Chains A and B, each alone.
Chain A
Amino acid sequence: MSTAPKQAPRAGTDAPARRRRASRALRTPGGLSVRLDVRALTVVVVLLAAALGAGVLLIGTGEFPISTGDVVRTLLGDGNPGQELVVIDMRLPRVLVALLVGASLGLGGALFQALSRNPLGSPDILGLSQGATAGALVVIVLVSGDARQVTLGALAGGLATGLAIYLLAWKRGVHGYRLVLVGIGMSAIMTAVNGYLLTKADMVDAARAVVWMTGSLSGRDWAQVWPLLALCAVLVPLVLGNGRALRMMEMGDDVSYALGVRVERVRLLLMLAAVLLTAAATAAAGPVSFVALTAPQLARRLTRSPGPNLLPSLCMGATLLVTADWTSQRVFGADQLPVGVVTGVLGGVYLLWLLVTERRAGRI
């Protein structure tokens, strides 16, 4: 294998020289080659480590605090039965759900932003969360179902809404703008439906509903983990495999066509994947706000790479959500406040910061 580093601080002609990000290509004698962006790869590794580290910390937090060393020992199979009960049966599933939901939202958000070519594009915008909420509310208010049924209802609601939005936006192909605007309309309809259901509920159901609607990880067990894991195992490789095509599509439909990208097919596939990931994540944890919006942007700032940054967004989403949950547990006490509140605050701060930077950049 030979590496061919491509970096050269050039003595510029007029403008100051720019140091390029080192990117390497690993080549085999057989003609195969893989292109690696060193910085992006580093970011991914660091974020993964951070996510797992935060996960371990989270397992140790709660009504029965367990030290980090004990947590690790228990995970490796070497703890006492009491700790095993708490760690493996109660807390590990919650952390796994947090990791998977965060990852799905991060990836889904990156896909939406790339496909709509807008940094404010996010599945929240499209009304998917409201659709999933409608499904969940129907179960909570009308059927008084248990957690499993709520999950199913939310999944059904999210998927149905996603499908409806896509079909309604379809007019010989789907363009980003129309999709966003149809989604906004759908979102308003679903919000009204949800509002209605909330007024019809009794106080207990209403309280339960609002907790769900904020996005919460409490009480998540293995029943939520397996479906989410299976879905991610299928969708993530599929999405990442189409990453190169998506990178071309950033340059506009015309250029992508010219380069031989099957634009409509890739767009459809990736939209479907994004909807599925978002619907599954929302079904598992409720509509957790802002992870899908902020994770891709934060990832991009770390990697400083102009592409869709799919893998970094995935890792950033996982890290964000686990960290948010840990923060919520530590600051407000175990299970007092749903994780969606912390991500909401994060989102608010992000928006304000965006406002400031956009103003400074003269774009406002």
Chain B
Amino acid sequence: MPVTPRRRALRAVGLLVSALILVAVALTSIAVGAKQLSLGEVWHGLFASTGTYADVVVDDRISRTVLGLLAGAALGLAGAVLQALTRNPLADPGLLGINAGASAAVVTAITFFGVTSLSGYVWFAFAGAAGVGALVWFLGGSRGATPVRLALAGTAISAALYGYLQAVMILDNAALNKMRFWTVGSLTSATDSTIRQVLPFLVAGMVLALCLARPLNAMEMGDDTARALGARLNRTRVLSMLAATVLCGAATAACGPIVFVGLMVPHVVRSFTGPDLRWILPYAAVLSPVLLLGADVIGRVVARPSELQVGIVTAILGGPVFIFLVRRRRTAQL
């Protein structure tokens, strides 16, 4: 499908429209929540904040929205990069055990290092995610990785780590109490300082991912073809894995494990942009926060006056979508 100027213009317009949708969803996220506020109160909180209760709520929501934007973009980009890297349209950072690694590391921090605040164990989460990412990559066969091998390796390692997690939770009640809320994935546990902590990593990861668009494009066609075209395979592989792990690790460190965002958005985006990563990545970066914030808003509204964490909503929405996608593909391609 040759990329005509017309098509390019259409895609650019689409991107703009997506950005506008994102703004709309972000505003919704600020305006809507478990506590019902009037639009006037929201306006007040946004632009003329004086410290009233409503203003505090709005302030919280702003932080939450910002986190949702950043984490969503990070997860979407990580997913797109992983899908291109493994040539597997069903790759998701969560399925590769990264979440389990982060969780295991966090519980270790809480129990064995006495770290009590998110800003403390955010580094652990990061390290855990990175470590497991690398491990799954190796166990899944690195160069010879097929979709199923990677998924199986990820699930096997996750099982081991969750076993460890459960053991610690049984022995340490305080850890249990903290972890059972952290592991469902939520946008509320992070404070502004946490966001500031992970921000540099998120930004660095996003920049790296966007720069990898062209090399990854070359890799899509298979190793041999890519080499023939002059691509530097190993370097691209390592950098891509690094980008995906940094992005996913940072997002998980701040929010806890969230699945399926990294899977669904790039997959859907691919269906209307085609396989060119120079379009997939920006679209994924814009539309993933739409999904994440949308899920968050749903979670706030559906269970009033309490909330349903965003990690639960994305799983319950994403699972059926994933299964639907699996069914659509012919077996030979899995």
Contact = CB atoms under 8 A, between A and B. Distances in A.
A binds B: yes
A337 B311 contact: no
B184 A290 contact: no
B167 A124 contact: no
Nearest to A121: B152
Contacts of B319: 185-186, 188-189, 192
Interface in B294-334: 308-309, 311-312, 315-316, 318-320, 322-323, 326-327, 331, 334
Contacts of A50: none
Given A180-B152, A181-B148, A364-B142, A193 B180 contact: no
B233 interface: no
B163 A195 contact: no
Interface residues of B, number: 53
A211 interface: yes
B323 A185 contact: yes
Contact of B312 (A118, A192, A207, A290): A192
B65 interface: no
B11 interface: no
Given A124-B155, A188-B318, A211 B170 contact: yes
B138 interface: yes
Nearest to B139: A355
Given A185-B323, A188-B319, A210-B176, A293 B167 contact: no
B181 A199 contact: yes
A81 B169 CA distance: 39
Nearest to A126: B155
Contacts of A359: 138
A351 interface: yes
B156 interface: yes
A203 B179 CA distance: 12
Interface string B163-188: 11011011101001100110110000
Contacts, number: 164
Contacts of B143: 364
Given A171-B327, A351-B157, A195 B166 contact: no
B135 interface: yes
B322 A188 contact: yes
Given A121-B152, A192-B316, A207-B176, A182 B326 contact: yes
A247 interface: no
A162 interface: no
A196 interface: yes
Contacts of B10: none
A355 B138 contact: yes
B163 A347 contact: yes
A307 interface: no
A153 to B, nearest CB: 19
Contact of B176 (A187, A206, A347, A354): A206
B153 interface: yes
A363 interface: yes
A344 B323 contact: no
A168 interface: yes
Nearest to B313: A192
Most A Cβ at <10 Å: residue of B151, B164, B323:
B323
Contacts of A278: none
Contact of A184 (B144, B151, B177, B183): B151
Given A125-B155, A203-B177, A364-B138, A188 B163 contact: no
Contacts of A199: 180-181, 184, 309
A120 B327 contact: no
Contacts of B246: none
Interface in A158-191: 168-169, 171, 175, 177-178, 180-182, 184-189, 191
Interface string A339-363: 0110111011001001100110001
A363 B184 contact: no
Given A203-B173, A210-B166, A195 B148 contact: no
B167 A214 contact: yes
B170 A214 contact: yes
Contact of B259 (A122, A175, A188): A188
A270 to B, nearest CB: 19
A198 interface: yes
Contacts of A337: 167, 170-171
A187 B155 contact: yes
A338 interface: yes
A193 B170 CA distance: 20
A192 B315 contact: yes
Nearest to A340: B163
A188 B158 CA distance: 12
Given A189-B315, A289-B163, A290-B159, A363 B148 contact: no
A211 B157 CA distance: 20
Given A185-B323, A196-B312, A210-B166, A120 B152 contact: yes
Given A188-B319, A351-B160, A364-B138, 12 more contacts: A124-B156, A168-B327, A195-B180, A196-B308, A199-B180, A203-B173, A207-B170, A211-B170, A289-B159, A347-B156, A363-B141, A364-B144
Interface of B: 90, 94-95, 135, 138-139, 141-144, 147-149, 151-153, 155-157, 159-160, 162-164, 166-167, 169-171, 173, 176-177, 180-181, 183-184, 259-260, 308-309, 311-312, 315-316, 318-320, 322-323, 326-327, 331, 334
19 contacts: A124-B155, A125-B156, A177-B148, A181-B148, A185-B323, A186-B323, A189-B315, A192-B311, A192-B315, A193-B312, A206-B180, A210-B166, A289-B160, A289-B162, A290-B160, A337-B171, A340-B163, A340-B166, A364-B142
